[in-house]
Amino acid sequence: MKKKKHMAVVIAFLLPVFVIYTAFLFIPLVQTAFYSLTEWNGITEKIYVGFDNYKELFGSSDYWLVFWNTIQLVVITLLIQIPAGLILAYLLYMKTKGMKIFRTIYFLPVVIAPVAISLMFSLFYNSEIGVFNRILEMIGLGAFQTNWLSNTDTLLYAVMAPQVWQYIGLYVTIFLGALQSVPSELVESAQIDGAGQVKTFFHVILPQIAGFSNICIILCITGSLKAFEHSWIMTGGGPGVRSSYLGVYMYKTAFVNSDFGTGSAITMTIVALSLVITLIVNAVFSAREKD
């Protein structure tokens, strides 16, 4: 009887999650996979075309430009957000006075709507009244003034900057929680043995929060792969697709050009890329844990 009751409790807790997961993730994903094999404008009958959408997509120079834009965003966010979040979290961890206030300040941009952040940075980038050009002029670097969202050399990185900055606070919060979970006895033992703060950080603390680092890296990668708001609000992904990410390209293809078949194919490439990168990251961390 106890086993049956225990099983009933387990099912009662898991069933809502299973239903929600199936209804809002698994079924739409299967439908999207089917739509990617069809020619469909969202109104008329679907025409099955097999892998023609994928062939057309992979033969498109626009797709590969957008693909590499997205990969650049993934790499830049990994190189900036994760280290910056870890360093700031460690500084807060070492100096606990005022930690809650600074943690709130760092996390504040995360809860602000990306639309608001994008509009704010659009004003900052304005060639006439933008604060960035004003600062360059004030410090004697007026020669570097430019229209950040029109110059093709700065366009993509200008669109990336607000997203990279906005979510640093998320990783500060996660890493701070991870650091606070490290047993103080380990840190004290390392310091008694003569290890300085740097050695303690790299040889004692980092191995203890490796699992949290894995989570942060996966969140960073998947967040970059589905990036949409900043590019769409600031430039509409233009000119052409020069500042587009895969999410923007999918939206424009499906909802602006009414090509739901190709749009679904783009979605499936995003899903596939996310799965592959996530599996690689998990495999790397698993191998390190075994070593």
Buried b (16+ CB within 10 A) or exposed e, 92-117: bbeeeeebeebbeebbebbeeebeeb
Q: How far apart are CA 55 and CA 155, in angstroms?
A: 29
Q: Which residue ranges make up each domain of the chain?
A: 55-290
Taking residue 210's Cβ as centre, other Cβ atoms within 10 Å add up to: 12
Per-residue pLDDT of 214-269, as tens digits, reads 899 999 999 999 999 999 999 999 888 999 999 999 999 999 999 999 999 999 99
Task: Give the tokens for residue 110.
Answer: 């995360």
pTM: 0.89
Q: Name the percent of the chain lying above pLDDT 70.
A: 98
* Topology given in CATH for the domain delimited by 55-290: MetI-like fold (1.10.3720)
Per-residue pLDDT of 117-170, as tens digits, reads 999 999 999 888 889 999 988 898 888 888 899 888 899 999 999 999 999 999
Whether 209 contacts 178, CB under 8 Å: yes
Q: What is the pLDDT of residue 93?
A: 84
